[in-house]
Amino acid sequence: MIQSEAPEPVAAERKAPAHGVRPDLILDLPEAESQSQVFEVVAGRMAQLGLVADAGRVTAALLERESTGSTGVGNEVALPHALLEAGPAHPVVALVRVKRGVDWHAVDGRAVRLVAVIVAARQQRSEYLNVLADVARVLGSENGRAFLLKARSFDKVARVLTRAPGSAFLARYKAVWILAAAIGLAYLGGRLLMPAISLPAGGIYEQLGCLKFNAQPWLGRQALVVAIFLGMVVGTLLFWKFRLAIVATGLATLLLAGVMNLEHMVEYMSLPTIIFVMSMMVLIKWLEDKGVFRYVVFKVVERVGGVPWVLLLILMAFSVLLSGFVGEVSGILVTFGLAVEIARRTHTPVLPYLLALVFATNIGSALTLVGNPIGVYLAFVGQLNFEQFLRWATPISLFTSVVVGAVIILLFRPQLRTKERVNLADLERTVESIKPADLRFGLFVFLAVVLLIVFHARTEALLRLPEGTMLVVAPLAAVAFVIFAEQEKGKLLIARSIDWWTLLFFMFLFASAACLEHTGVTTKLGYLVMRAAEQSPLSRWLGPSGVTGSALIMMLWGAGLTSGFVDNMPVVAALVPVVKGLLAVNLPHASILWWALLFGGCFGGNLTMVGSSANLVAVGVYERVTGQSVKFGEWFRTGLIITVASLLAATVALLVQVSLAS
Amino acid sequence: MFNKILYVVSEKQEEKQMVMELARVHNSAVLLSAMLAIGCGHEVSNEGATRKRVLREDHERKSWHDLYRLEEEFKAAGIKASVIAREGDVEDIHSVAHNTGSDLIVLSATSLAGVNYRLPDEFVAGLPCPIIITNAT
C-alpha cells in the first residue's frame, strides 16, 4: 500500500515555479511496490491540481514508455517521461522520493529512490527535451542526487533543479568585466603613481641616464605598459585556455602604441632561451619514447622493496632529480605514473602521492639550469652558468627537498599505512617492452648532453666563444643527432614533441615584460625596493648586506606567493628587470637576487594546483585515473605548509650565503 | 546474439544508423550513453570557478538533451532504447558495461581523445563483451 505524505510547507509559494517544479508535486513515499503505483500517485496528484485532464492516460503513457526500455538511469534514479496528445501548457516535473526504493528494472539493477516524472504536450517537444536535460543533469551528478534526497524545502529543490538564465549570462561575462576593470584601474594607478615615484638626481640614476623616466612622455608610456602587462597577467589567470591570445594581443598593443619597435621586440624575445627549451623538448620526448626514465626509476624501486611510504620517499627523490635534469613535466609524468600503480596495488589513496610528488618536482626544478624554463631564462638574462647553478641552486634545492620530505612523511605517513606490499613482479610488465639497445643508446645521448651542459662555461672559455653559446649548441647538436638516428620518424618526433603553444607564449611574454624595463617602470620599482630595503630593520642591523638581505626577502617571498596564483613565468619576467636595475645601481651582492627569483618562482608553484605546469599535468592524470577532482582547499592546506616551509628554508640558506659573502 | 548494445553516443550519423541496423537485426535493446568527463575537456585550468561551472553545466545539459532526442528517434524507429549517463571518462565504460550486462559496445574513436586515442591493453582484456570502435573521420 502506498502512503503519500502531505507535501511540506511551501516556503516560496508566490515564486513562479521554474520548469514546472511545484511544491505540491514533490512527494515523499515510505515505500512503493511497483512503477505503476508510483505513476498512479503522481498522475492522480497532477489531475487533482488540474494540470492534466485524465490521470489514467498519463499513467498509461508513462507505462508505455517503460515498456520500450527502462527509464532507470542507474544510481537509484529514474526519469520516466512521456509526451501526451493533450497535455499541460508547459512541461510538468514531479519529484518522488521513495524511502525504501522501488524496483525499476534499472540499467544497473539497483532499486530506485529518486523518481523525476516529466510530462508534456506533444507540441511542447522542444521545451520538454530541455526540461528533461536539465533534470537529468542534476540527477546525473552525485552531489545533485545527495542534495535532493536530503532537501527539506521546496526552495532548495527548485534551486537545485533549475538555474536562472540571467545568472548564466552574468557568469559568462563576469571575467571579461573583471579584466577590463583591472586594466582600467592599473592604467589609472600608473598615471597617479608613476609621477609620484621620482628617481633622484645627482646619483647613480643620473649616471645611468635614467632621469628621463621622470619626464612627461615616459610617464604616459609607463602607465600604458603597466596597464597592458597587468592586463596580460590577469587575463592569463582568468582565461587560461586563451593565454597565448592574451599575450599576443598585449604585444600587438605595445607595438601599435609605439612603446616598442620591431628590433627591440626580436631582441627581447630571448631566442637562446626559446631554442634551448625547444631542443630539450625534442630530446626529452625521444628519451621518454625509448622508456629510459621509466626503466631507471623502476629498477631503483625494485631494489628498495614494496613498503608504500618508503616507495613514496624514493619516488620523491626521483622527482627532484628528474625535474632537475629533464624538466618538471617529464619528471612528474614518469614518477606519478608509477605512483598510481603502487597506490592501486596497495589500496592506498592516490592523493598523498600526487601532492608529495608534485611538491618534490617543483622544488627539484630549481636544482639545475635545465630544470625549469625560469632557470634557463635567468641563465641567459643574468649570464649565469651551470656551475654557478651547482654552487648556488643545487645545495639549497636539495636542502629544501629534505625539509619538505620530512614534512610530507609527517603529514601523509598515517594515510599510507597498509599491510599490503607492492608486488614488484607485477609492476615489471610496465617496463618489459623496453628494448635494451634503445635504453643504452638513449642513456648515452642523455649523459653526453648533460655533460656538455654542465661544462658549458669551461668549453666556451676554451673555445673563446661568447657566454651561453654551448647552452644552445649542446641541445641543438643532440636534436640533430636524434633526427639522423630516427631517420623518417624524425619529422614525426619534431611535430609531436615541440609545444609551440608554450614557446610562443614565452616569446611574446618576454618581449612584453621587457617593455617594463625599456620604459623605466622596473627602474622605479627597483628604486622603491632599494628604499624599502634600506629602511628595514635587517639593514640597520647588518649594514649594506642587510639591504641586500631585505631585498632578497622581498623578491623571494613576493615571487613565491604570487607564483602560487598566477603563472610563475610572467612574475619572474616582470621582476628580472628589477634585479637588473638593482645590479646597475651597485647594490652589494645583488646577483644573489637571481637565486631569490629562481626559488620564488619554482617553490611558489606548490601553493595552489594552478601554480605550475607540473601541477596541472599531474592533476589531469589524477582526475583521469581516479575519476575524482582535487578540491582547491584540499591542495591549498598542504600547499601552504610546504610553500612556507620551502621558502623559509631558501630564505635562511640564501641569507647565510649573503652573510658569508660579506 | 546481442540482447543489449551499449552505444556511447557521438555526433556521427553513420554510426547511429549502424547501431539502429544492428539493433533491428538482433532485436536488441540499446543503452544510449554519454560519458560526462569530469573537468569537461580534461584540462584543469585556472579560469574563474563560476565560468567553469557554467561551461560544464552547458556541456552536460547538451549531452543529456542529445541523448533524449536520440532516445525519441530510436523509439520512433521501433527500437527499445534507454538512456544512461555517468560522470567519468571513457575508461569508465568498463564498469558501465559490467553493471548493465551489455553484450556489445559501440564507441567512436573521437571519444578516445582523453586517452590519446589509445585504449590500454588491460582495459580491452577486462571488457565483458566485444567492442566496436568506429572510425573518427
Residues within 8 A of B (CB atoms), A 41-70 only: 68-70
Interface contact B42-A70, CB threshold 8 A: no
A323 inside domain: no
Total structural domains within chain A: 3
Give the Cβ contact number of residue B55 at 10 Å: 15
Q: How many CB pairs under 8 A join A and B?
A: 121
Cα distance between residue A74 and residue A142, in whole Å: 11
- The helix/strand/coil state of A6 is coil
Cα distance between residue A80 and residue A78, in whole Å: 6
Alpha-carbon dihedral sign for residues A566, A572, A577, A579:
positive
- Per-residue pLDDT at B60 exceeds 60: yes
Look at residue B39 in the predicted model and tell me its pLDDT. Answer: 38
Alpha-carbon dihedral sign for residues A11, A14, A20, A23:
positive
> Residues A446, A480: one domain?
yes
Interface contact B38-A627, CB threshold 8 A: yes
- Per-residue pLDDT at A569 exceeds 60: yes
Interface contact B85-A136, CB threshold 8 A: yes
Task: State the amino acid at position A479 in one-letter form.
Answer: V
> Residues A236, A266: one domain?
no
Q: Which residues of B touch A68 (CB under 8 A)?
A: 75, 80-81
A201-210, B19-28, B43-52, B98-107: range with lowest mean pLDDT = B43-52
Q: Which residues of B touch A620 (CB under 8 A)?
A: 39, 42-44
Pairing of strands A92-102, A21-29: parallel
- Per-residue pLDDT at B133 exceeds 70: yes
Q: Does A432 touch chain B (CB under 8 A)?
A: no
Q: Read off the pLDDT of each residue in A485-501 and give the average, rounded to a whole number.
A: 83
Interface contact A129-B69, CB threshold 8 A: yes
Question: Of the candidates A74, A137, A141, which has its C-beta nearest B84's C-beta?
Answer: A74
Question: Which own/partner pairs from A634-637 qualify as long-range (CB within 8 Å, at least 24 positions apart)?
Answer: A634/A351, A635/A355, A635/A608, A635/A609, A636/A607, A636/A608
When mean pLDDT is compared over A66-80, A571-585, B17-31, B32-46, the highest value belongs to B17-31
E strand or H helix at A113, and its extent?
strand A112-121
Lookup: cell for A249: 594581443
pLDDT band for position A618 (50/70/90)? Answer: confident
- The helix/strand/coil state of B32 is strand
Short-list A274, A285, A455, CA closest to A368: A455
**Residue A123 gets which letter from DSSP?**
G
Q: Which residues of A touch B38 (CB under 8 A)?
A: 623, 627-629
A236-245, A450-459, B1-10: range with lowest mean pLDDT = A236-245
A382 inside domain: no
**Residue A32 gets which letter from DSSP?**
-
Cα distance between residue B64 and residue A550, in whole Å: 58
Q: Does B137 touch chain A (CB under 8 A)?
A: no
Task: State the amino acid at position A235 in one-letter form.
Answer: G
- Per-residue pLDDT at A202 exceeds 90: no
B45 inside domain: yes
B71 inside domain: yes
> Residues A250, A264: one domain?
no
Instruction: For A239, name the nearest residue in chain B, comparing CA atoms only.
Output: B47
- Per-residue pLDDT at B5 exceeds 80: yes
Q: How many residues does chain B have?
A: 137
Percent of chain A with pLDDT over 90: 16
Q: Which residues of A touch B71 (CB under 8 A)?
A: 69
Interface contact B61-A137, CB threshold 8 A: yes
Question: Of the candidates B54, B62, B67, which has its C-beta nearest A172's C-beta?
Answer: B54
> Residues A491, A502: one domain?
yes
A118-122, A432-436, A642-646: range with lowest mean pLDDT = A432-436
Give the Cβ contact number of residue A13 at 10 Å: 11
Q: Does A143 touch chain B (CB under 8 A)?
A: no
Give me the domain span that covers residue B39: 4-117
Residue owning grid cell 582568468? A238
Q: Does A175 touch chain B (CB under 8 A)?
A: yes
Residues within 8 A of A (CB atoms), B 63-102 only: 64-65, 67-69, 71-72, 75, 80-89, 91-92, 99-100
Residues within 8 A of B (CB atoms), A 620-649 only: 620, 623-624, 627-629
> Residues A219, A110: one domain?
no
**DSSP string of A357-381?**
HHHHHHHHTTSSTTSSHHHHHHHHH
Look at residue A661 in the predicted model and tell me its pLDDT. Answer: 65
Q: In the listed set A99, A133, A163, which residue is the last one of a domain according to the structure?
A: A163
Total structural domains within chain B: 1
Question: Of the candidates B42, B46, B92, which has its C-beta nearest A620's C-beta?
Answer: B42
**Residue A489 gets which letter from DSSP?**
G
Give me the domain span that covers residue A69: 18-163
Q: How many residues does chain A have?
A: 662
> Residues A207, A148: one domain?
no
Interface contact A133-B115, CB threshold 8 A: no
- Per-residue pLDDT at A4 exceeds 60: no
- The helix/strand/coil state of B3 is coil
Q: Read off the pLDDT of each residue in A343-358 and give the average, rounded to a whole number.
A: 84
Interface contact A609-B92, CB threshold 8 A: no
Interface contact A623-B39, CB threshold 8 A: yes
User: In 3-state terms, chain B is what percent helix, strand and coil (to 5)?
Assistant: 45, 20, 30
pLDDT band for position B50 (50/70/90)? Answer: low
pLDDT band for position A313 (50/70/90)? Answer: confident
A161-165, A649-653, B51-55: range with lowest mean pLDDT = A161-165
**Chain B interface mutation, best of A76, A107, A126, A341, highest count of B Cβ atoms under 10 Å:** A107
Interface contact B47-A71, CB threshold 8 A: no
Encode pLDDT of A41-61 as tens digits. 999 988 888 888 888 889 998
Q: Which residues of A touch B88 (CB under 8 A)?
A: 627
Encode pLDDT of A632-652 as tens digits. 778 888 999 999 999 999 999
A102 inside domain: yes
The widest CA-to-CA distance across chain B, in whole angstroms, is 49
Look at residue A296 in the predicted model and tell me its pLDDT. Answer: 78
B129 inside domain: no
E strand or H helix at A92, and its extent?
strand A92-102
Look at residue A252 in the predicted model and tell me its pLDDT. Answer: 95
Instruction: For A162, name the nearest residue in chain B, comparing CA atoms only.
Output: B57
Question: Of the candidates A68, A73, A136, which has its C-beta nearest B75's C-beta?
Answer: A68
- Per-residue pLDDT at A412 exceeds 80: yes
Encode pLDDT of A22-31 as tens digits. 777 888 888 8
pLDDT band for position A71 (50/70/90)? Answer: confident
Question: What CATH number does residue B30 fall under?
Answer: 3.40.50.620
B135 inside domain: no
Instruction: For A175, name the nearest residue in chain B, comparing CA atoms only.
Output: B48
Question: Of the candidates B50, B57, B84, which has its C-beta nearest A73's C-beta?
Answer: B84
- Per-residue pLDDT at A659 exceeds 80: no
Alpha helix ranges (H) inside A115-213: 125-140, 142-150, 154-161, 165-196, 204-207
A247 inside domain: yes
- Per-residue pLDDT at A357 exceeds 80: yes
- The helix/strand/coil state of A12 is coil
Task: State the amino acid at position B133 in one-letter form.
Answer: I
B37 inside domain: yes
Residue owning grid cell 541523448? B67
Look at residue A1 in the predicted model and tell me its pLDDT. Answer: 34
Burial A417-435 (b: 16+ CB within 10 A, else e): eeeeebebeebeeebeeee
Question: What CATH number does residue A100 fall under?
Answer: 3.40.930.10
Report yes or no: A520 and A530 within 8 Å, Cβ to Cβ.
no
Judged on CB neighbours under 10 Å (0-12, 13-18, 19+), A258 is exposed
The widest CA-to-CA distance across chain A, in whole angstroms, is 97
Which residues, in sequence order, are CB contacts of A99 under 8 Å at separation 6+?
A28, A29, A30, A31, A113
Look at residue A142 in the predicted model and tell me its pLDDT. Answer: 73
Q: Does B62 touch chain A (CB under 8 A)?
A: yes
> Residues A29, A158: one domain?
yes
ipTM of the complex: 0.75
Short-list A275, A194, A269, CA closest to A515: A269
How far B134 CA sits from the closest chain A CA (Å)?
23
Q: Does A427 touch chain B (CB under 8 A)?
A: no
Encode pLDDT of B66-107 as tens digits. 888 888 888 888 888 888 766 566 667 777 787 778 889 888
Percent of chain A with pLDDT over 70: 89
Rounded to the nearest angstrom, the gap between the alpha carbon of residue A18 and the centroid of all alpha carbons in its chain is 37
Residue owning grid cell 596580460? A232
Interface contact A107-B42, CB threshold 8 A: no
Cα distance between residue A613 and residue A619, in whole Å: 10
**DSSP string of A256-277?**
HTTSS-HHHHHHHT-HHHHHHH
Judged on CB neighbours under 10 Å (0-12, 13-18, 19+), A303 is exposed
Question: Of the candidates B38, B44, B80, which has its C-beta nearest A68's C-beta?
Answer: B80
B133 inside domain: no
Burial A38-50 (b: 16+ CB within 10 A, else e): bbbbbbbbbbeee
Lookup: cell for A323: 625535474
Q: Read off the pLDDT of each residue in A209-229 and give the average, rounded to a whole number.
A: 89
Interface contact A74-B29, CB threshold 8 A: no
Report yes or no: A95 and A25 within 8 Å, Cβ to Cβ.
yes
- Per-residue pLDDT at A15 exceeds 90: no
Report yes or no: A308 and A348 within 8 Å, Cβ to Cβ.
yes
Question: Of the candidates B38, B69, B84, which has its C-beta nearest A629's C-beta?
Answer: B38
Interface contact B99-A108, CB threshold 8 A: yes
Question: Of the candidates A71, A137, A171, which has its C-beta nearest B51's C-beta?
Answer: A171
B95 inside domain: yes
Look at residue A429 in the predicted model and tell me its pLDDT. Answer: 65
State phi, psi for A335 to the nearest 5 degrees.
Answer: -75, -40
Interface contact A620-B43, CB threshold 8 A: yes
Cα distance between residue A199 and residue A187, in whole Å: 20
B43 inside domain: yes
Which residues, in sequence order, are CB contacts of A49 under 8 Å at separation 6+?
A22, A24, A25
pLDDT band for position A20 (50/70/90)? Answer: low
Cα distance between residue A256 and residue A265, in whole Å: 12
Cα distance between residue A339 and residue A325, in whole Å: 20
Alpha-carbon dihedral sign for residues A100, A104, A108, A114:
negative
- Per-residue pLDDT at B43 exceeds 60: no
> Residues A129, A188: one domain?
no
Q: Does B116 touch chain A (CB under 8 A)?
A: no
Which residues, in sequence order, are CB contacts of A114 under 8 Å at separation 6+?
A76, A77, A78, A95, A96, A97, A98, A139, A145, A148, A149
A579 inside domain: no
In order of A192, A232, A234, B33, B46, the CA distances from A183 in angstroms are 14, 9, 9, 45, 19
Q: In the listed set A135, A163, A191, which residue is the last one of a domain according to the structure?
A: A163
